């Protein structure tokens, strides 16, 4: 006679319908005064800060501008810039840069106004971790409000983030993933502790059945099933949420984000160089003012800069004051040098731009390339 194929009963495990949920149900969290809108794994959104009284801003005097402009670059500087540009391109010949005859240089200096607003925003969300004896303090006293918790403000105008466990919100709950058992049904064997033998396809015989001469399967010893490798035959695995503890410490996390919000305005200039190119270079700083709330620039020689300052200051105040706390503002005016250079190469006229303190070059139609497109 041949062994009979059988399936042993499933080993102990909590009901499968109760396992596997990583997001805890809303009923798991207490209603904490001042944090009623807080939810798990999504936060309660940005919390509006207490609205301070608007400070009285005194009009600023007109910026004291230097009585000079950035001098035009020399032909030697313009040529060296083009030589360096050509040498950075694998398919560019340096001959036009070295031997071309410069016929004209025209300066198109332009202004860049920049406004930076450094803000602090706060949000909350419920969090949980395996309970291993941490302090439990919920309802021992009212927790501080989200904007009442003191933090160390980082250096102005540098982005940063910090997360703080809100005091007096921590409590212990049964783990939602394993119903407090510490273990969950094995997902490989569905809690049975064993699975079909792959060597004999569950038949218990080497060649499918006894009728075709198949002997007992040596892998499963004729049982037709093997011990589940994932749970080692136990039918359940350690809960990956509570790490087998069966209990969770649940609490509210406060996340603080410090963000530098920056906007630029560059005065259009008639050189032909795209404004987008100027965003990658620096200029000569002519004006800087930093305080809690800056006043729009007044009396600057270029009216477009004055208008841009008024618009951006108003926009930043309306955009950020309702959802975050403004900690500091800073605005600057830079004069960016732009030089349009015309030169002759092989009896044809060509043109390129040298711009910024970095003497960056833009040459749309460089005359000596061999195999790649001009960048």
Nearest to 332 by CA among 370, 289, 291, 363: 289
User: Of the ranges 30-39, 126-135, 336-345, which one carries the lowest mean pLDDT score?
Assistant: 30-39
In this structure, are residues 187 and 16 in contact, taking their beta carbons and an 8 Å threshold?
no
Q: What percent of the chain has pLDDT over 70?
A: 84
- What pLDDT shows up at residue 358? 96
Above pLDDT 90, what percent of the chain? 61
Q: Where are the domains of the chain?
A: 75-116+258-362
**How would you label 282-299 residue by residue, b for 16+ Cβ within 10 Å and e otherwise?**
ebeebbeeeeeebbbbee
Q: Which residue has the higher pLDDT, 52 or 278?
A: 278
Q: Is the pLDDT of residue 373 over 50?
A: no
148-180: pLDDT as tens digits: 999 999 999 999 999 999 999 999 999 999 999
State the pLDDT confidence band at 9, using cuts at 50, 70 and 90: very low
Q: For 3-12, 289-298, 359-368, which range has the lowest pLDDT when averaged over its residues?
A: 3-12
Length of the chain: 375
Q: Is the pLDDT of residue 1 over 50?
A: no
- Which has the closest alpha carbon to 117: 300, 292, 260, 269? 260
Give the pLDDT confidence of 279-318 residue by residue, as tens digits.
Answer: 999 999 999 999 999 999 988 889 999 999 999 999 999 9
Residues 54-96 have pLDDT tens digits of 555 555 555 566 555 667 899 999 999 999 999 998 889 999 9
Q: Across residues 20-46, what is the average pLDDT? A: 80
Phi, psi at 128, each rounded to 5°: -150, 160
Task: Kindly report, residue by residue over 199-228, the tens digit of the pLDDT.
Answer: 888 888 877 565 665 688 888 888 888 888
Mean pLDDT of 324-349: 95
What is the arithmetic mean of pLDDT over 251-256? 96
**What's the average model confidence in pLDDT over 176-194?**
92
In DSSP notation, 186-250 reads: -TTTTTSSEEE-TTTTTSSBTTS-TTTT--B-TTTTTSSEEE-TTTTTSSEEE-TTTTT-SEEEE
- Quote the CA–CA distance of 102 and 106 in Å, as a whole number: 11
Say what the pLDDT of residue 25 is.
87
Please answer whether residues 252 and 166 qualify as being in contact, where contact means their C-beta atoms are separated by less than 8 angstroms. yes
Identify the band that residue 329 occupies on the pLDDT scale cut at 50, 70 and 90: very high
Whole-angstrom Cα distance, residue 111 to residue 304? Answer: 9
Beta bridge partner(s), residue 121: 257
Gap between the terminal Cα atoms of the chain: 82
pLDDT of 85: 96
Residue 346 has pLDDT above 80, yes or no: yes
Q: How far apart are CA 244 and CA 230, in angstroms?
A: 16
Using CA atoms, how far apart are residues 273 and 361, in angstroms rounded to an integer? 11
Residue 38 — very low, low, confident or very high, per pLDDT cuts 50/70/90?
confident
Q: Are strands 348-355 and 360-362 parallel, antiparallel or unpaired?
A: antiparallel
Is pLDDT above 90 for 328?
Answer: yes
pLDDT at 208: 57
pLDDT recorded at residue 336 = 94
- Please determine, for residue 250, whether its predicted confidence score (pLDDT) is greater than 70: yes
- Residues 253, 300: Cα–Cα separation, whole Å: 47
**3 pLDDT exceeds 60?**
no
């Amino acid at each position: 006679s041949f062994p009979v194929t059988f399936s042993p009963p499933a080993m102990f495990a909590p009901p499968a319908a109760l396992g596997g949920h990583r997001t805890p149900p809303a009923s798991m969290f207490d209603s904490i005064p001042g944090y009623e809108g807080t939810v798990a794994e999504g936060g309660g959104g940005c919390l509006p800060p207490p609205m301070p009284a608007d400070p009285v801003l005194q009009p600023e005097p007109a910026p004291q501008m230097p009585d000079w402009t950035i001098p035009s670059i020399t032909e030697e500087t313009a040529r060296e810039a083009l030589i360096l540009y050509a040498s950075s391109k694998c398919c560019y010949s340096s001959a036009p840069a070295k031997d071309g005859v410069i016929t004209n240089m025209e300066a198109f200096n332009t202004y860049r106004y920049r406004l930076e607003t450094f803000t602090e925003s706060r949000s909350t969300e419920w969090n949980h971790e395996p309970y291993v004896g941490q302090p439990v303090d919920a309802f021992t006293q009212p927790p501080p409000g989200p904007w009442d918790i003191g933090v160390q403000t980082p250096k102005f105008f540098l982005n940063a983030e910090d997360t703080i466990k809100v005091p007096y919100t921590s409590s212990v709950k049964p783990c939602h993933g394993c119903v407090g058992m510490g273990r969950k049904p094995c997902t490989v064997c569905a809690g049975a502790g064993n699975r079909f033998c792959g060597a004999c396809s569950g038949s218990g015989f080497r060649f499918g059945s006894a009728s075709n001469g198949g002997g007992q399967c040596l892998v499963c010893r004729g049982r037709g099933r093997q011990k589940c490798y994932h749970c080692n035959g136990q039918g359940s695995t350690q809960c990956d949420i509570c790490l087998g503890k069966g209990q969770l410490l649940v609490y509210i996390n406060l996340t603080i984000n410090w963000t530098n919000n920056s906007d630029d305005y560059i005065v259009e200039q008639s050189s032909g160089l795209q404004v987008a190119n100027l965003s990658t270079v620096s200029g000569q700083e002519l004006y800087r003012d930093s305080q809690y709330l800056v006043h729009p620039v007044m009396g600057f020689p270029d009216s477009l800069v004055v208008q841009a300052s008024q618009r951006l200051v108003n926009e930043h105040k309306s955009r950020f004051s309702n959802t975050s706390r403004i900690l500091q503002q800073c605005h600057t005016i830079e004069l960016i040098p732009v030089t349009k250079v015309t030169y002759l190469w092989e009896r044809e006229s060509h043109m390129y731009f040298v711009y910024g303190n970095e003497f960056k070059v833009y040459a749309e139609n460089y005359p000596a390339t061999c195999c790649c497109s001009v960048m």
